[in-house]
């Protein structure tokens, strides 16, 4: 797997296995299948309620701890230093590891207030201090954020000691937040793209399908490759062995011209998935 360098000198695999909506009792088997398929970056979160299953899958894989890059996230609703500090220790316990490779603030606002006018700048500074402390103690190898806009990032950068090393954002064909991506990359913050297949909605998009046929690949493969060619870490999720394996078959290159066309494609309609805060722009 290709890797990307974070500004603290650590390296992260650019293809990660996402575990959102994978139940705790299914997570171990899915993680083992992903590791068998060649993934070496596993992405989870406190909010996914599957850290124990993810940890079990990693342990049962037979791979050494240092061979696997683990990302988890502090719950969006946690907005105090004390709660964040305790939650990091709880994640380590549930995962069954001495450290995680990357931990993120899951969202700048609690999910029920996502996109609201209340920005939680002060509170995020407090949470970030807990992440900085965990980083200095060696409990985490890198620290970052998720779903942060430019001003959310500037708040951390201006008021804290350590600049975020990563920002995990919704990014896919039909929704490419170029302003956030450019800001992050200009400031040496690695961008991670979650839901690169638009929570499955891209699979039914005829415009995307046309490009996939041109390259002789599946729509999912085209979508994942697109985010990788934006120089982001791509985090596809799949639960079947077939799809887990297929999502690693990315030995093709999208031309610069087609990348520009894909960036300009119309926004995808998330349909019934709009009840999820991340897919509802209000």
Q: How far apart are CA 111 and CA 116, in angstroms?
A: 10
Q: Can you give the pLDDT at residue 1? A: 77
How far is 14 from 232, CA to CA, in rounded Å?
Answer: 7
233 part of a folded domain: yes
- Written as six digits, the tokens of 163 are 């600049």
Contacts of 125 (CB under 8 A, 6+ apart): 155, 156, 159, 160
Q: Is 48 assigned a catalytic role?
A: yes
pLDDT tens for 103-124 read: 999 999 999 999 899 999 999 9
Which of 48, 69, 194, 226 is labelled catalytic?
48
Strands (E), 55-209: 69-74, 102-105, 143-146, 166-170, 190-194
- β-partners of residue 105 are 74, 145
Closest by CA to 55, choosing from 2, 63, 193, is 63
Radius of gyration (C-alpha) of the chain in whole angstroms: 18
Q: What is the pLDDT of residue 267?
A: 87
Question: 269: phi > 0 → left, psi -120 to 50 → alpha, else beta; which?
Answer: beta
Q: Is residue 250 part of a domain?
A: yes
Query: Is residue 126, in this structure, part of any structural domain at all?
Result: yes
> What is the value of pTM for the model shown?
0.97
Within a 10 A sphere around the Cβ of 144, how many other Cβ atoms?
Answer: 27
Residue 99 is assigned to a structural domain of this protein: yes
CATH number for position 259: 3.20.20.100
Residues of the chain with pLDDT under 70: 282
Find the distance separating the first CA and the last CA of the chain, reported in whole Å: 37
In a domain, residue 185? The reply is yes
Residue 278 lies in a domain: no
* Contact yes or no for 75/108 (Cβ under 8 A): no
Domain that holds residue 41: 3-272
Question: Given phi > 0 = left and psi -120 to 50 = alpha, else beta, which region is 123?
Answer: alpha
- Number of domains, the chain: 1
The predicted pLDDT at position 282 comes to 57
DSSP E strand boundaries for 63-201? 69-74, 102-105, 143-146, 166-170, 190-194
Do the domain assignments include residue 187? yes
Do the domain assignments include residue 282?
A: no
179: burial class by Cβ within 10 Å (0-12, 13-18, 19+)?
Answer: exposed
């Amino acid at each position: 797997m290709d890797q990307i360098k974070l500004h603290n000198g650590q390296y992260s695999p650019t293809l990660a296995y996402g575990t959102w909506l994978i139940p705790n009792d299914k997570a171990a088997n899915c993680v083992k299948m992903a590791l068998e398929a060649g993934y070496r970056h596993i992405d989870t979160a406190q909010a996914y309620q599957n850290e124990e299953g993810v940890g079990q899958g990693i342990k049962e894989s037979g791979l050494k701890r240092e061979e696997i890059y683990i990302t988890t996230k502090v719950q969006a609703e946690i907005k105090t230093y004390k709660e964040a500090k305790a939650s990091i220790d709880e994640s380590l316990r549930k995962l069954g590891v001495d450290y995680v490779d990357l931990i993120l603030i899951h969202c700048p606002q609690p999910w029920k207030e996502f996109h609201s006018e209340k920005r939680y700048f002060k509170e995020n500074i407090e949470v970030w201090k807990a992440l900085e402390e965990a980083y200095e103690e060696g409990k985490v190898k890198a620290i970052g954020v998720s779903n942060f806009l430019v001003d959310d990032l500037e708040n951390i950068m201006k008021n804290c000691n350590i600049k975020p090393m990563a920002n995990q954002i919704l990014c896919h064909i039909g929704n490419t937040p170029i302003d956030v991506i450019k800001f992050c990359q200009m400031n040496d913050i690695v961008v991670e793209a979650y839901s690169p297949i638009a929570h499955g909605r891209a699979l039914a998009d005829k415009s995307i399908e046309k490009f996939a046929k041109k390259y002789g690949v599946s729509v999912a493969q085209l979508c994942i490759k697109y985010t990788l060619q934006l120089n982001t870490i791509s985090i596809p999720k799949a639960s079947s062995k077939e799809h887990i394996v297929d999502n690693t078959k990315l030995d093709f290159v999208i031309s610069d011209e087609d990348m520009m066309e894909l960036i300009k494609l119309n926004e995808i309609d998330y349909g019934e998935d709009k009840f999820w805060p991340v897919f509802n722009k209000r």
